[in-house]
Every structure is written in C-alpha cells, then in structure tokens.
Amino acid sequence: MTAARRISSPLKAATYETLIGLLSVTGMRIGETVGLDRGDVELGEGRLTVRHGKNGRSRELALHPSTVTALDTYVRVRDELCPHPRDQSFLVTNTGVRMNPGTIWHEFDRLRRETGLDRETLGRQARMHDIRHSFVLRTLLGWYRDEVDIEAQLPLLSTYLGHVHASDTYWYMEGAPELLAMAAERLERTWEQHS
C-alpha cells in the first residue's frame, strides 16, 4: 500500500491503495473487487455487496469501521479527481472506467518488485491471490489465539469468502506452519484435559 501511494498519478495511487487494502481486509477475489459498482458499497450501513462472485453467486460483506473510513476517503478523492466517470465502477482508472484485471496484475508485479516481495526474499514471487490466503490465515490464527471454536466458525468464513462448501476453505490452510502449530497445541491441551 505504501508503494501504491507513491504512484505519480494521484487517482491511480488512491485506487491501487484502496484495491490492495480492500483485498487485504475482506479476502475478496480480484474480479469481485473490480466488479464492485458504486451502489454496491454502502458505507452508511458498513457493508458491500459482491454481485459478481464466483459461479454467479452474490453475498454481502460487513465492513470494519476503519475500512469504512478508508473507503470514504477514497470516494472523496475519486469524486474530486474524476467528477464525471464513464461508468458506475466503484474503483476507477484515470479515464473514469472500470479497472482491467490484466493491468492490475501488471501493476501489482511492478509494486511487488519495488517493495522487494520478489523471489529473492520469499523464495518465490508474491502473487496478488496471496492476499486472499493471508486474509484466511490471519482470521484463523486470530480465532486460535482467542480460543474460538474453529469448527463452528469455519462455515461463516466460507460464506464470507464466497465458498459453496466449507471444505473449499480448507485448501487455504495447507502449508501454514504457524496455523498447524496452534492447531497441534490446542489438540494437545484438549488431550491433557481429558486424560
């Protein structure tokens, strides 16, 4: 997000910062975020509606107050810098139209290289979809730390992510050593309590 703020065009900078932030705090897919229209983002109600989800499914997402504030800031900047957009897209380009996913991937690659999230530091190139994975892992780690019943909450997370089945969400948990360690620790405590 810091690298996005340094983009020379103020509208493009605000749009990319908002895009990356929205992906980070909602776990939305890129196409879902780009597909948002202005009427889909209801800041007064603290929610947004994903109308163009995977498999044509729609869903509503509750937004944290800090996210509402950030989105409101973007709306004010967007409307000042692009007072006459050419379509109803929530996130707009400098020409006032909906963002193109191919262009987003290209810009993300540039930002990735600029921030050092490259093969040398991670062992592989960071991908934009990794933001969705990070959202899932942060959510699950928070639940483990708070001693939440993961099994009971997983269907809610799956619905929030737009998954049809909770089992679709399990895929995001693979290969997360910290998550596996917390799960093992919880299991060990449960065994000790029942011994």
Please give the model's pTM, rounded to 2 decimal places.
0.79
> Which residue out of 16, 74, 160, 172 is catalytically annotated?
172
Burial (CB count within 10 angstroms: exposed 0-12, middle 13-18, buried 19+), residue 167: exposed
Q: Is 54 one of the catalytic residues?
A: yes
> Which residue out of 78, 98, 112, 163 is catalytically annotated?
163
Tell me which amino acid residue 25 is: V
Q: Which CATH architecture has domain 2-122?
A: Orthogonal Bundle (1.10)
Domain edges within the chain: 2-122, 130-193
| Amino acid 109: pLDDT | 85
> Which residue out of 57, 64, 110, 129 is catalytically annotated?
129
Q: Is 138 one of the catalytic residues?
A: no
> Which residue out of 54, 59, 127, 138 is catalytically annotated?
54
The percent of the chain in helix, strand and coil, each rounded to the nearest 5, is 60, 5, 30
> Which residue out of 78, 98, 112, 132 is catalytically annotated?
132
Q: Is 129 one of the catalytic residues?
A: yes
- One digit per residue, pLDDT tens: the chain, 195 residues? 888 889 999 999 999 999 999 998 998 888 999 999 999 999 999 999 998 777 777 899 999 999 999 999 999 999 999 999 999 999 999 999 999 988 998 898 888 888 876 655 555 666 667 777 778 888 888 877 888 887 788 878 777 777 776 666 666 666 566 656 666 566 566 566 666
Q: Is 29 one of the catalytic residues?
A: yes
Q: Is 189 one of the catalytic residues?
A: no
SS3 89: strand
User: Kindly report the CA angle at 166 between 132 and 146, in degrees rounded to 5?
Assistant: 70
